[in-house]
Structures are given as structure tokens and as C-alpha cells.
A and B are shown apart, each in its own frame.
Chain A
Amino acid sequence: MTELPLALDGWFAHVVYACLVGVGLFVLIDDENLVKKVVGLNIFQTGVFLFFITSAYRVDGRAPLVTEAGPFVNPLPHVLILTAIVVGVSVTAVALALVVRLYETYGTLREDVIRDLRAEAAREAAGEEVSR
């Protein structure tokens, strides 16, 4: 059990948090696949959650129970992140529902393909108006 707290205590956890935030944001911005964008958003959020949980760590800290003595892990960040995770789940659910609706219409999950299809539809509509 000693390895995990050591990893949490040092700068190591902060490197992991920074990597997760960076990877998440990169996927969110760069990837054309809408589902992967949502996954990127989740990774980004998870990185932030990890940062909060790391901040709760105390050297030799125990679970915060009233009956025991000694240094406790700070319970507040855990409670906060529990709430934030619920928020994250709700956001993911709404995002995926929207992705499903787009997939039903365009038959694709790729944003660039959707953009092309929309541009084509707009051109056709404009052409129709001219010919009329």
C-alpha cells in the first residue's frame, strides 16, 4: 500500500494531471470524430478531478472517521469531486444524445463529413432558388 501514497504525494501526480488535461483538450480540439471529442472532454475533466483528489492527500493520512485519531485525508475535495463527477456524467449523457441525433440525420460521426454534407445541401438549396 505504500507505493500509491508516494505517487500521490510527489510531483508525479501533478505530471499525470497535466498530461490528462493536455491529452483531453488535444483530442477535443483535434479529432474529427464526435464521439472521440466527447471522450476527450471526459479525459480533460478527469484530469481536473485527479488534481482535486491529489490536493486532499496528507502524509500517512487515514480515512476521515470520527473515532480514529491521527492525520486525516481531507474529505472535502472528495465530496466536491463526487458532485463534479455527477455533473460530468450528465454532460456526457446530453452530448451523446446530441451525437446520436446527428448520426441519425447524416449517417456519420465525423465532423468534417457533416460539414461537407451541410455545405452541399446549402449549395443545392441556393441553386434551386436561382433556377426558380
Chain B
Amino acid sequence: MTLDAADLLPLLVAWPLLAAVGPLVLARRWPGAAQFGTALVLAGQVALAGLVLAVVATDGPLSYVVGGIPAAFGIGLLADRLSAALALLVAVGALGAFLSDRSTHDGPYGSLWLLLVAGLTGVVVTADLFNLYVFLEISGLAAYALVAHARGTDAALAALKYLLAGTVGATLYLLGVGYAFVATGTLAMADLGPALAAAGHDSTLVVASFALLAVGLAVKLALFPLHTWKPDAYSAAPPAVAAALAALGSTVAAYALVRVTYGVYGAAFFEAVPTVRTVLLAAAAASVVAGGVLALRATDVRRLLAYSSVSQFGLVALGVGLASPTALTGALVTLVGHAVAKGGLFVAAGTFDRAYGVRSVADYAGLAGRTPLGAFAVAALAVSLVGLPPTVGFAGKWLLALGAVETGQWAVAAVVVLSTLLSLAYAGRLVERLYLGESAHGGAVAADGGLPARPDTLALSLVVASAALVVALGLGAGVLTDWFAPVVEGWL
């Protein structure tokens, strides 16, 4: 039996999915071993995803059909440059977030974590609309259970709210898939494009199917006003889970939106039905502004970060709606940059919480004096959210604004600039507290609860690493745009 490079693709999903049984069995007797085993599996996933990325870089896109059934009927998997990059992002993000909190958890924590990775990776590499729904729900189910893993009732209530919203979103997506299927009779992404064009892009059925798919994914993305589950879920979840979900959950949903819009419906669909594009742009712009304002009003750091995500994913949706190569590249760069920055910030929030017991923005006062390196890294990550050079956030926003100007959408360009001002206000508030705030309680907090009073070294180094990555990606933004260029050119 010879192993083909394309055989790596199903392995990418099957490896975490099958290994997810392990921690469940181990955790009953040896919780430590379950924890260690999960980390090992995740490390293996990083290696696998890295290998796929390397193969895609040299040989071009990989595709695979499960079970040898013809692609029109079988379940197709596809890894082009975009999928491969996001699969690696998912693997690295999941490993980093998992390592950031190594307090032992009881029960199926590790298994759920691996299921989450399997689901997210599945969404990224699938080439079939219905299969995407199934993977979306696998990752969703794992995410709901992980959010509920924190002790206390806040977590249960937040998880239930997340579950109800997430399931409605996924079901609306499924309904959209149904309409697309009725219009064309196929579900494979590659076949759907021409079939939808043949059915007529402006036919009611096709427009309705896109609208339902987009609204369904918008719930998962947490675009305003469908975002209300997000702050609750992110602030109630265990810190490591919040970091993983913030970095990966909505990022993968945004990937799905990009893939469905351009990989299935195509830019021609927007040209045939300009109203859809206008509505998408309006919803995205509302998200950018509302998310920024809500983040400005938030007192809890994790809620602030969650609202900031609403704003940032609004920017990504703007890039999707602009339908110009520059703006779409900007959206993809923003997607990757936001995942790294937000993941790092949530790891930092969790680490500071455990070390100093700080949760609100006011509590962060004078933290720079106690953990200079951590505070500096947080400041760098916040700068990337704002979109100032030399971070990757700047590269993304610059391309988005450029794309808006190129297509003559001045209002959109104004929204991008406004988003920078809003994010400067809320990120600035955080950084100002860190550096200039008077430390209200000195060392009292640490003495009070017998907390370690020293941030976990590994978690802190992860925060610093993500800050370094944000700057490195910003300086080498050309590499990122060149990497995505073939995919974007194939679409537009």
C-alpha cells in the first residue's frame, strides 16, 4: 500500500476525531495522563497540518474523495492554500490555548478539546456544503460542552444561550443548503458554482439560499445584532477554552463565509444581485460600529475583547462584501491577524486572572509594574487590534481601506477608518490602565486569596510569542498576501 500525499487530508480530520476517545478513557483513572495525551495528539495535529501546508506549497491544492465514491456523490475534501493555512492556524491555536492552562480538569475535557479541533479542521478542509454543516455542528457541540466545563452556573447559562443561538444559526445554514440543493441537485462545492449559474443567479431560490447560508454563518460569526451569545460565552468559559474559541471559533465560520461566497456562489452572483451585496456591506458596517461602541462600554476585560471580535469580524465581512481582490486579501489577512492577536489576549486575560485575580479593566491598573513583559505583549497585541504599523492588523486594515477606495465605496472606507478610531479608544483604555493606572490595591489581592501571584511562565511566553508573531506577520505582510494571492485570483 502506497501512501499518497492526498491521503494526508482525511487523516487531518480523522486523527483528532479518533484520538478523542483516548482522554475520555484515561481521565477516569489518570487525569494527568489524559492531559498529557491530549497535548501530544494536538502536537501531532500541528505536525500533520504543517506537512499538508508544505505539500500544498510545493505541489498545489490537494483533493480527496472519501471512500472512492465519485466526487459528485461522495464527500470531497480539498486543501488549497487558504484551507491549508487555516488548518495549521487551528492546530497551532488549539495547542497553544490548551497549554496555556494546565490545571487538571476532570471528565472528558481533553476529548471535547480534540472533537473541537476535528470539527474546526473539518470545516476548513471540506469541499461539500452539507458536510460543512456536520463539521460546524461537531465543533459547535464540543464548544458548548467546553464552555459549560467551568464551574458555577454562569457557565451553564452562557453555554445554553450559546447552544440555542448556535443551533439556530446552523439550522438556518442547513435550510440554505436545502434551497441550493433544490435549485441544483448537487452539494459538492466544485459542481455547485456552474449549476447555480445555470439555475440563474437572480432566481428567488438561489438568492434565498445564499441569504439563509449567510445569516446562518453570521450567527456563528457573531455579527451585530446576532452577537449576544458571544460576550456571555467568552467570559463564562474556562480561560483556555475562551482563548481557543476566540482565536478559532468565529475565524473558521468566517472562513466558511468566504468559501461559500467565492468558492460556491462566485463574484458573478454579486454582480447579478447587487442588493445582496449592499445588505451584506450594511450589516458588516453596523457590526463594526456597534461592536466598537459596545467594547468601549464594557467593564470586564473578556467582554471587551468579545465585543471587539464583533467589530473585527464586521471588518472581515466588509472585505467579503467589497468583492475586490485587494479587499478580499485584506479580509483574509485580518482573519489570520485577528486570530493570533485575540488568542494571545485571551490567554493573557486568563493568566492575569489566575495570577492576580483581575477581571475588569479597572483592575488592570498598574499591572505593567508587576509583569512588564506581559503588559508589553498585551500592548503590542492591542496595537494590532487597532491596526497600527508594524503589526499585522495594520496590513489587513490598509488592504481593506485600499480595496474600498479602489471600488469607489467611500462609505466603506470611512467605516474602516472609524473602526480604527473606535478600537483605538477601547484598546487605548486597556493599555492606559496597564501603564498609567495607579495600582489600587498594591499586593493586597495576591495576599488575600493565596493566589500564586506570579503568572504561569509557559502561558506568559505564549502571550509574548503571539505578540512577536503579530509583529512578524505585520513586517512580512507581503509573504501573507503572496500566499493568498493564487486563491484570491482564482476567485475574482
Which positions in A face B, CB cutoff 8 Å? 21, 25, 28, 34, 37, 41, 44-45, 48, 51-52, 55, 76-77, 80, 83-84, 87, 90-91, 94-95, 98-99, 101-102, 105-106, 114, 118
**A45-B171, A98-B148, A98-B156 given; A83·B134 CB < 8 A:** yes
Check A91–B175 contact: CB distance below 8 A. no
Does any Cβ of A come within 8 Å of B113's Cβ? Answer: no
Q: Which of A37, A51, A102 contacts B157 (CB 8 A)?
A: A102
Which B residue sits closest to A45, measured CB to CB?
Answer: B171
**A101-B156, A102-B153 given; A28·B171 CB < 8 A:** no
Check A101–B164 contact: CB distance below 8 A. no
Check B153–A101 contact: CB distance below 8 A. yes
Does any Cβ of A come within 8 Å of B234's Cβ? Answer: no
Provide the residues of chain A in CB contact with B187, threshold 8 Å. 76, 80
Nearest-CB distance from B225 to chain A (Å)?
Answer: 13
Provide the residues of chain A in CB contact with B145, threshold 8 Å. 94
Chain A residues touching B, majority SS: helix
Which A residue sits closest to B137, measured CB to CB?
Answer: A87
A-B contact pairs, 22 of them (CB 8 A): A25-B168, A28-B168, A41-B168, A48-B178, A51-B175, A77-B178, A80-B130, A84-B133, A84-B174, A87-B134, A90-B137, A90-B141, A91-B140, A91-B167, A94-B144, A95-B160, A95-B163, A98-B163, A102-B153, A102-B156, A102-B157, A102-B160
- Within the assembled complex, what's the spacing in Å between the Cα atoms of A106 and B157? 11
B window 167-184: CB within 8 A of A: 167-168, 171, 174-175, 178, 181-182
Check A114–B157 contact: CB distance below 8 A. yes
Check A91–B141 contact: CB distance below 8 A. yes
6 pairs of A and B residues whose beta carbons are closest in the complex: A98-B160, A101-B156, A105-B153, A87-B137, A55-B182, A48-B175
**4 extra interface residue pairs, beta carbon distance < 8 Å, beyond A51-B175, A80-B187:** A45-B171, A76-B187, A84-B174, A102-B156
Which B residue sits closest to A55, measured CB to CB?
Answer: B182
- Within the assembled complex, what's the spacing in Å between the Cα atoms of A54 and B158? 36
Check B134–A55 contact: CB distance below 8 A. no
Q: Which of A52, A90, A98 contacts B159 (CB 8 A)?
A: A98
- Within the assembled complex, what's the spacing in Å between the Cα atoms of A44 and B174? 12
Nearest-CB distance from A117 to chain B (Å)?
Answer: 10
Check B137–A91 contact: CB distance below 8 A. yes
Provide the residues of chain A in CB contact with B156, threshold 8 Å. 98, 101-102, 105
Which positions in B face A, CB cutoff 8 Å? 73, 130, 133-134, 137, 140-141, 144-145, 148, 153, 156-157, 159-160, 163-164, 167-168, 171, 174-175, 178, 181-182, 187
Nearest-CB distance from B223 to chain A (Å)?
Answer: 18
- Within the assembled complex, what's the spacing in Å between the Cα atoms of A94 and B160? 9
- Within the assembled complex, what's the spacing in Å between the Cα atoms of A84 and B134? 7
Most interface-central of A21, A28, A37, A84 (chain B CB within 10 A):
A84
Provide the residues of chain A in CB contact with B134, threshold 8 Å. 83, 87
Which B residue sits closest to A114, measured CB to CB?
Answer: B157
Check A52–B178 contact: CB distance below 8 A. yes
- Within the assembled complex, what's the spacing in Å between the Cα atoms of A105 and B152? 9
Provide the residues of chain B in CB contact with A102, threshold 8 Å. 153, 156-157, 160
Provide the residues of chain B in CB contact with A98, threshold 8 Å. 144, 148, 156, 159-160, 163
